[in-house]
């Protein structure tokens, strides 16, 4: 079988109707949504399939919703086609997707994962007063240009940090609004192709999120974490771990830390990964990885048709 990694999307991939086709086709997927609804004491699945996009996009709803779709895809893949996380070399997720990866690899129970993401969403939303924080994307910038922009931003006295290293030429800054504005101005004046503010509700993955990190440390202290069936490549380190204590600390640190996605993908490729399967909503990570490593074969696992095509690929590889 090919060198496989399952990857899991983060915030921004949500849409009304997400996961409904999986539920209609696979009882195992339906069971995931039922369990998440019960854990949250909320009809989250109804919101996902019939609700208002603005309500779904509220961070406290988006995070468990995306995780539910991802895990539903993985459970359906295993129940219907006999393919699971244990068939991969690694799992990895972007930001909240790291929780989806851990749930799919058996490290955290589905109910606990849903409750943790509800806490995480509320804590991240409440960490900074509305209007005080901002995020911006730098397109066409390298890390040195992004660091220089951050330095210019910090000269205002505010916080300005690299929040996401998503792919070559796609970096995201996070921090105080005035500092982010100054960083964008500096970037534009110094050859960066595009510096644009992002429509986000809070400045994620920067030191302003420390109150949310503290909340997650308290929440995670009460949760049982098992060793995952395969190593999880962590956002904060871009290296794999199966140690429950390290996983717990990584989940705290990633709230304020940089999502090192470029390095995570590069690490997995260097360790033999030749194909990825993005479980859940959309194909953001699959598109981004083309900028990181063109040789990677990328699949998405969001619909029944996706699962069938991927299973056919895996079974074909197994008989080569």
Given 84, 104, 205, 264, which residue is catalytic? Answer: 205
This prediction's pTM: 0.96
* Model pLDDT, residue 209: 98
Walking along the chain (320 residues) 10 residues at a time, the average pLDDT comes out as 90 93 98 98 97 93 97 98 96 97 98 98 94 95 97 97 97 98 97 92 95 98 97 98 98 98 98 97 95 95 96 73
SS3 assignment for the chain: CCCEEEEECCCCCCCCCCCHHHHHHCHHHHHHHHHHHHHHCCCHHHHHHHCCHHHHCCHHHHHHHHHHHHHHHHHHHHHHHCCCHHHCCEEEECCCHHHHHHHHCCCCCHHHHHHHHHHHHHHHHHCCCCCCEEEEEEECCCHHHHHHHHHHHHCCCCCEEEEEEEECCEEEEEEEHHHHHHHHHHHHHCCCCEEEECCCCCCCCCHHHHHHHHHHHHHHHCCCCCCCCCCEECCCCCCEECCHHHHHHHHHHHHHCCECHHHHHHHHHHCCCCEEEEECCCCHHHHHHHHHCCCCEEEEECCHHHHHHHHHHHHHHHCC
Domain residue spans of the chain = 4-126+209-318, 133-200
The verdict on whether 95 is a catalytic residue reads: yes
Q: What is the CATH number of domain 133-200?
A: 3.30.70.250
* Model pLDDT, residue 318: 52
4-126+209-318: CATH class: alpha beta
Given 95, 104, 174, 264, which residue is catalytic? Answer: 95
* Model pLDDT, residue 199: 85
The verdict on whether 264 is a catalytic residue reads: no
């Amino acid at each position: 079988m090919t060198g496989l990694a399952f990857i899991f999307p983060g915030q921004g991939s949500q849409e009304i109707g997400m996961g409904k086709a999986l539920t209609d086709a696979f009882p195992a997927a339906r069971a995931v949504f039922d369990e998440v609804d019960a854990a949250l004491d909320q009809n989250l699945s109804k919101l996902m399939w019939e609700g208002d996009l603005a309500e779904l996009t509220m961070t406290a709803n988006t995070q468990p919703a995306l995780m539910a779709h991802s895990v539903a895809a993985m459970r359906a893949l295993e129940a219907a086609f006999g393919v699971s996380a244990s068939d991969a070399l690694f799992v990895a997720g972007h930001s909240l997707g790291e929780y989806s990866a851990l749930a799919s690899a058996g490290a955290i129970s589905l109910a606990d994962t849903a409750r943790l993401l509800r806490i995480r969403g509320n804590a991240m939303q409440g960490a900074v007063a509305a209007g005080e924080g901002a995020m911006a994307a730098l397109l066409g910038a390298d890390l040195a240009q992004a660091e220089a922009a951050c330095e210019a931003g910090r000269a205002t006295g505010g916080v300005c940090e690299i929040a996401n290293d998503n792919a070559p030429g796609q970096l995201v800054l996070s921090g105080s609004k005035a500092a982010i504005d100054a960083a964008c101005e500096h970037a534009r004046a110094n050859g960066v192709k595009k510096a644009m503010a992002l429509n986000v509700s809070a400045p994620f993955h920067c030191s302003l999120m420390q109150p949310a990190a503290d909340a997650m440390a308290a929440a995670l202290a009460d949760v049982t974490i098992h060793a995952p069936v395969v190593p999880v490549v962590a956002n904060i380190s871009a290296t794999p771990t199966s140690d429950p204590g390290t996983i717990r600390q990584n989940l705290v640190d990633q709230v304020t830390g940089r999502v090192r996605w470029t390095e995570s993908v590069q690490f997995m490729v260097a360790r033999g990964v030749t194909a990825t399967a993005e479980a859940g909503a959309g194909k953001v990570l699959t598109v981004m990885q083309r900028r990181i490593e063109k040789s990677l074969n990328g699949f998405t696992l969001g619909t029944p048709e996706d699962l069938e095509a991927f299973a056919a690929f895996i079974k074909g590889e197994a008989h080569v």
